[in-house]
Each structure stands twice: as structure tokens, then as C-alpha cells.
Amino acid sequence: MSEATAVSGARILAHVEALARCSEQSDGLTRVFLSEEHRAANELALRWMREAGMDARVDAMGNVVGRYEATRPGMPCLMLGSHLDTVRDAGKYDGMLGVVTAIECVHALHARGQRLPFALEVLGFGDEEGVRFGATLIGSRAVAGTFRREVLDAVDRDGISLREALRRFDLEPARIGEATKRREDVLAYAELHIEQGPVLEAEGLPVGVVTAISGANRYAVEIDGVAGHAGTVPMPLRQDAMAAAAECVLAVERRACAEPELVGTVGKLECLPGAVNVVPGRVKFTIDVRSPDDGARLAAAADLVREIQAICDRRGVQGRIAKTHEGKTAPCAGWLQAQIGEAIAAEGLPVRRLPSGAGHDGMAMIDLADIGMLFVRCEKGISHNPAEAITLADVETGARVFLRFIERFDPARKT
Amino acid sequence: MSEATAVSGARILAHVEALARCSEQSDGLTRVFLSEEHRAANELALRWMREAGMDARVDAMGNVVGRYEATRPGMPCLMLGSHLDTVRDAGKYDGMLGVVTAIECVHALHARGQRLPFALEVLGFGDEEGVRFGATLIGSRAVAGTFRREVLDAVDRDGISLREALRRFDLEPARIGEATKRREDVLAYAELHIEQGPVLEAEGLPVGVVTAISGANRYAVEIDGVAGHAGTVPMPLRQDAMAAAAECVLAVERRACAEPELVGTVGKLECLPGAVNVVPGRVKFTIDVRSPDDGARLAAAADLVREIQAICDRRGVQGRIAKTHEGKTAPCAGWLQAQIGEAIAAEGLPVRRLPSGAGHDGMAMIDLADIGMLFVRCEKGISHNPAEAITLADVETGARVFLRFIERFDPARKT
């Protein structure tokens, strides 16, 4: 296919590498919102957007926005994008691959002088990870119109507020409303992203269609037993907080295994006082439960709260369970899943549908427009880590599928 | 009983309080081997020993030794004692109660002008806890003749060796052999100590006869799974080190519960990397297994090593198990248990036999002589903690029983 050969995996990777050099550390990649490195990354993206035939600018929240007009100007747009910020000591692809691939797709259309019946807008969001100010999705919330102004008072670790950081970035906090798009101007939002999980690799597939960005519940659990001497307290007289917590860890695992797309994790656990010869008196741990099905997630969370309480009651220890987060699922629109699936099938590949257990800008963009996502396989599912890796072949496959989706995008099929 | 009224619980507690003021910290109790506080505690003990009619001196390892002659001088002795050093931020009774009570018992005999057919020697060991030089039982090993001279090279946290510390304490390292007693001069070693466990309190008993100082095996376990994103790695693709460790914790508990005097503890557990949204890739934990029955302990330890390996194999994670300690049981001699039991029964109290899960000077003294121990109830079994507590009534009961045991001690009944 002539249009398929027009995207260059090599150029995508070169651009990813160039962005990776915009880092606050020389021996790895960290780039936070409204930093000088962010400014440098925006400059690169603006240049590539203009080379791809787009009008490009930085919006009122520091996002880069490139617009490629339709056959006639002023038409509603298909929005494409991802984020340009990173976690600390990050990989190179999380976020950036989506921005760079979207630009590359427009570049391919521009190279052929091809215009579509709708405009394209490519967004490079300034904040998705939330590293600097502790609030995630600042960039996409500004575009979707759901940014809460109290976040302007959030401060980074140097005590600089978001309000002040915007000013230092030559942006005016009073004008951030100008970053918000009108719903009637947006046909849909589509994002390409690395999977950040092992499913596609395990099944030997380069790409997949995302069904939903899973909702999540998080809990902080504290169990208070009674500390004691490991030699002198007989087993029947113990109130061992660690043994109780171990039962809870296995209860989380067992409940999550009971349904196919549910996941449950005890990721953090502290055992106190923490000495080889002391029966643990206190254990603190976290629970993270996610599912693309809100009902399944809420039922599992409720079951676990009950089960942990029952374990603690039976063992004569005190359990305190505090919900620290609850976020609902952001479903990907069926009509966008269908069109992304068709683009994959047209490449002769099986269409694998899978949920995204990780959060993405679509969680904010869904308040503006229907969302769709294309996942690209990454090595061992590793992400948020310098070891994040992807093959050139998969970069090219992802870009070909994404371009095909864009070219054949049909907003009339929205149901 | 006239001899029973001759011991003063109030004086014992006053002496315990006086010793507690020999501390390196003003807001709590810490007294380590060969410190200035140790010197001050020895001075107090020497004075009280002399007031109780004993010849008293500091031996070549810094232990205080008081001798109360028999009806004729130079007879073999019944040794009584415990330790004068403490852990950091210690309780007041662990060790000290045994030394002070033994002195009080001699004081009672002396007040009546009573001599026994055997000599009494009261020892206040300078090091049992091992806080300063990382080697435990230094005082009692010197007396038993099992002190290893390479320990002289051990250094404290300021880099001062034991050899140098002895010199600063006005002792000559070349002469530590002089602290060793000859076997033929010692009839038995008997120690009164707080239980440091909750058994006597749970059963409403002030005292108990120790059957053995339990042997112990300790292990350091490391489990390597694969870290992953808590949202993106489906349950069947996980190699969760924390879930595997949780199974091991419960296996330790279950195995220990299978036999009455076996205890098993996972006291320390680290979960890495330790983030709410990351599947744990590595967990490190410790296992401590104790029993007064060496066969039961070794069988349980072997079972646990096998079971942990099986858990890891089944879950596809790597388990590494290293034995960090193995110490055999020090049984209390049957004839001493019998005589201590008779002294308890003579007070009209039930004779409860129980093992000591904590270590004591008897573990070293057993190489010199048969050992016996009397436990006294302490509040909630708390020890190695400023909250360590004991009632005046229990102090007096313990002292009465110990004096009765001493008076009626009959080495001819040794079997």
C-alpha cells in the first residue's frame, strides 16, 4: 500500500531519541511539566509539526497543538495525541511514541498533498503523569475543560505553585480556559500508546484495540496486632499482624483471579517493628483493584473489604481500611474500537481487544469526545523504567495501522 | 515461714531502680558491656554483695562475682546469677532481677547467720545481650571456659575492640582465662529471670520452672519474581513475589502451630520496589523457628525449607533460603527442675513447666554445670522495652521460691 510505506519507523525512533535527550538528568530520562526540558521538547514537537504541514502552537496550559486542515478550513477535527512528560527515570516511549507517531502520520498525508474531509489536531500534552504537582492529566483536563482551578495552588517539591510555574513558562494562568476545545469542534480523540503490559507480547501480536481504561479502587490497610518475642510467645497466644496481612494478600490475589480482566495487587507492605526475633505488631499495606467493568471492580472491592475485616476479626487483630482512590472506567467507544480493529485487520493481523489497566489522557478527554486507543507491544510489558523497549518493526506496524485508521476515519459511523 | 519473710521485695525493687539509673541515656535505660555505666552497676552490685556477707570482686572478664562460704571454706558452690547489661532502651528487670534477687537471698541467709553445706556464688555477668560487640554471652562464656579469643578483635560501633575495651576497664585481656571456673568447683547453675513471655500471666501464675532454653534456627529468604504494572499485568501472567511470600508466611505459622512448644515467626519482611501500583518483584524476609525439642525444631525447619521451595516452584519465582543461625537446645537438668518445682509447691503454688524461647546465660553455663531456671511472671510478656513490668508481689514470690530452692538445694540428688 502506497500510504503504508509513507510512514517512517526510523524517523519516529529518531524523534523519540531526540525527545529523550530533553532530560533533567544526563544518565536517564526525567522531564516534568513546565520545566526547561519540557520547553525544549515542545520546541522539537512544534518544529516537526510544522515540517508535517501543520499550524503549530503552545496552548494556554503548555500543551503543543498542531492543526492540519481538512479539504476546507475550519472543519471539526479528529484529535490525536499523547503526553510529552515522563515519570522520573523513565522509558522513552510512554507518551512520546503516541505524539511522534501522530505527527508522522500527518507528515505522510502532507507528503502526498492529501487532505481529509475533517481536520486533524495533534496534541502533545504537557502533563499526564502528575510527577511535578501531584495532580495527573493537567494537560488533557485543560483541553477537555475539566481542569479545576484549585490545582493552580498545588506546589512542586521546591514550593513553586503551578500558577507560578505557568508564568515562568510564559503562560498566563488567567487564560488557561483558552486551552479548552468546544465539543462541536471535536469528532473523536484517538491515541496510540505502548501497552505497558505483557499481553500482546505473550500472544505474539504487535498491536491491539483498547476496550476501556480500567477504573481503579485503592485502599490503605493497617493491621494492629501485638508485638512480642519470637521465642517466648506461644503460637496460640499470638496476634501476629504479619500473618494476618499474609492472609489478606492471598485474599486479594484469589479474588482478582476469579474474573478474567480483574486485577488486584498488594504493591506496598511494611512490617513493623521488623526484627528477626519479634512477632510483628503492625503491618501496613496497600491494595489496588482494577477492572474495565465498573460493576466487577466495585463488587470485588466490597468483597475484599469484608474479607479483610473477617480475617482480622477471626485473628483478634485490629484492621483499618481506608479508601484512598476511586476512579471509574473510561470506556473506549464501540464505533472507534470497530474502526481501529478494521485498520488492524487490513494489515492482515488478528484483532486483539484488551483493557488498559494503566491510566491515559483518554480518561480526561472522554469528557470532551469519544475516545479510542491503539496499543503497541513493548518488551516484557516493562514501562516507567529505562528498560522500556519496542522494536522498529512494531513502531512501523503501529504507525501504519494508525495512519490507516486516520485515513478511513468515518465520524458518520458514530452510534 | 521465717526464712520466707527474710527476703525484701522492696529492697529488690530499690536495687533494680538503682541499677536502672546506671544508663547512657537520661530518659531510659541502655547499659552496654564495659561502659562507664557498667562500671557503676558493678560498683553497686559489689557493695550489695558485701552488705550480704559475701567476698566480692570483678573477675577478669568484667563480671561481678560474690562468694558466700559454706559451713567450712573452699567447698564447691551453687552458682546463682544473671546479667547486668541491657539492650538499647531496655526494661529494668531483664537480667538485673536475677542478680539482685540472688544477692537478696544471700542477704537473708547472712542476716540469720546461716551457712549451707555448699558455698554460694552470685554472678552478675557483664555481657549477655551482645549489644556492644555483636557476640552474645561473653560474660558467661568466660566463666564456662568457652570464650573464643578471636572475639577479642570484635569492635563496637566506635571501632573500639573488646581487647581495648577490657584494658580501658582496667582488665588485662591476657588474663581472661582466670575468669573460668573449674567444673569440680561448681555443683549447678541456677538463674531467676522474668519470663519475657505471656504464658504465666495467661495462666494466672507468678512463677514457673523452665524445662529448656529452646534451640533456634534462623533463615533469610529472598524471593525474586517479576515486577510489573499493577494495572496492566493480568493475574495469570504475574510472578508476584509478595503473594509468594504471603504463602510462605502462612506456611511458617501453620507448621509452628502443628506442635505445642514449637514457635515460628516471620518478623522482618521487605517488599520491593514497594509502590501501590507496582506488582512486587522482590521480597526479603526472615524466619525464626524455636523449640525445646531439637528434633522437632530441625524437622520443622527442614519442612519449611522444602515447602518454601515448593511454593516458589509452583509460582514460577526464584526462592533463595540461607540459614543465618543454628543453636541447639540447652535443657534444664531434671534434678534441678524437680528441686525448683518442690520450692514452688512448698509455697502452695501450682508447678507450671515451660520452655524458655529467649536465650539466657544458661546456654553458656551448661558447658560448665547442670543448669536450672525459675521464671517470674511479667506484665503482658513485654520485654526488651521500657514497658517491661512486674509486681512487687511477684518479686517477693520469686525471691521466696528462689531462697527456698537454695536452702534445700541437694546436689546428692543429681542423677
Convert the pLDDT of each residue in A373-402 to its tens digit.
999 999 999 998 899 999 999 999 999 999
Contact A37, A31 (CB under 8 A): yes
Residue B243, sorted as left (phi over 0), alpha (psi -120 to 50) or beta, turns out to be: alpha
Give mean pLDDT, residues B175-191. Answer: 98
If you search the block for the grid coordinates 511470600, which residue do you land on? B245
Share above pLDDT 90 across residues of chain A, in percent, rounded to a whole number: 96
CB contact under 8 A, B359 and A288: no
CA triple B367-B369-B375, angle to 5 deg: 100
Q: What is the pLDDT of residue B414?
A: 87
The per-residue DSSP string of B215-262 comes to: EEEEEEEEEE-B-EETTTS-GGG-B-HHHHHHHHHHHHHHHHHTSTT-
CB atoms within 10 A of CB B148: 9
**Residue A6's pLDDT band (cuts 50, 70, 90):** confident
Q: What is the pLDDT of residues B226-266, one digit of tens each?
A: 999 999 999 999 999 999 999 999 999 999 999 999 999 99
Q: Which of A289, A303, A308 is nearest to A221 (CA)?
A: A308
List, in order, residues 6 or more apart from B412 with CB less than 8 Å away: none
Give mean pLDDT, residues A286-302. Answer: 97
Dihedral angle sign, alpha carbons of residues B191, B192, B197, B200: positive
β-bridge pairing A330-331 and A207-213: antiparallel
Query: Which chain A residues in 46-65 lie under 8 Å from chain B, judged by CB atoms?
Result: none
Give mean pLDDT, residues B213-228. Answer: 96
CB contact under 8 A, B356 and A232: yes
Query: What ipTM did this prediction achieve?
Result: 0.90
Q: Which of B111, B127, B39 is nearest to B68 (CA)?
A: B111
Output the average pLDDT for chain A.
96
Q: What is the pLDDT of residue B1?
A: 41
Nearest to A235 among B196, B232, B263 (CB): B263
Q: Which of B270, B250, B269, B227 is nearest to A265 (CA)?
A: B227
Q: What is the pLDDT of residue A4?
A: 44
C-alpha cell at B391: 509486681
Spelled out in words, what is the top-level CATH class assigned to the domain B3-213+329-413? Answer: alpha beta
pLDDT at A1 over 60: no
Q: Would the CATH topology of B3-213+329-413 be identical to that of B215-327?
A: no
Q: What is the pLDDT of residue A181?
A: 98
Q: What is the pLDDT of residue B136?
A: 92
Q: Which of A263, A164, A360, A112 is nearest to B232 (CA)?
A: A263
Q: What is the pLDDT of residue B2?
A: 45
pLDDT at A346 over 60: yes
Q: What is the pLDDT of residue A311?
A: 98
CB atoms within 10 A of CB A65: 23
**Residue B6's pLDDT band (cuts 50, 70, 90):** confident
Contact B249, B284 (CB under 8 A): no
B180 touches chain A (CB under 8 A): no
β-bridge pairing A282-291 and A215-224: antiparallel
Give mean pLDDT, residues A68-97. Answer: 96
A271 touches chain B (CB under 8 A): yes
CB contact under 8 A, A288 and B268: no
- Burial class, A26, CB count within 10 angstroms (exposed 0-12 / middle 13-18 / buried 19+): exposed
If you search the block for the grid coordinates 496510540, which residue do you land on? A192
A48 against A134, higher pLDDT: A48
CB contact under 8 A, A247 and B243: no
Q: What is the pLDDT of residue B3?
A: 44
pLDDT at A3 over 50: no
Q: What is the pLDDT of residue A414?
A: 87
Q: What is the pLDDT of residues B29-47, one digit of tens each?
A: 999 999 999 999 999 999 9
Domain ranges of chain A: 3-213+329-413, 215-327
The per-residue DSSP string of A138-192 comes to: HHHHHHHT---GGGGG-B-TTS-BHHHHHHHTT--GGGGGGGPPPGGGEEEEEEE
Minimal Cα distance from B285: which residue of A?
A276
C-alpha cell at B254: 501453620
Q: What is the pLDDT of residue B415?
A: 72
List, in order, residues 6 or more apart from A237 with CB less than 8 Å away: B198, B199, B202, B381
Amino acid at residue number B231: G
User: What is the fold, at CATH topology level, of the domain defined by B215-327?
Assistant: Alpha-Beta Plaits (3.30.70)
Dihedral angle sign, alpha carbons of residues B131, B133, B136, B137: negative
Q: How far is B249 from B244, CA to CA, in rounded Å?
A: 9
Q: What is the pLDDT of residues B64-115, one digit of tens each?
A: 999 999 999 999 999 999 999 999 999 999 999 999 999 999 999 999 999 9
Q: What is the pLDDT of residue A278?
A: 92
Output the average pLDDT for chain B.
96
CB atoms within 10 A of CB A102: 29
CB contact under 8 A, A358 and B231: yes
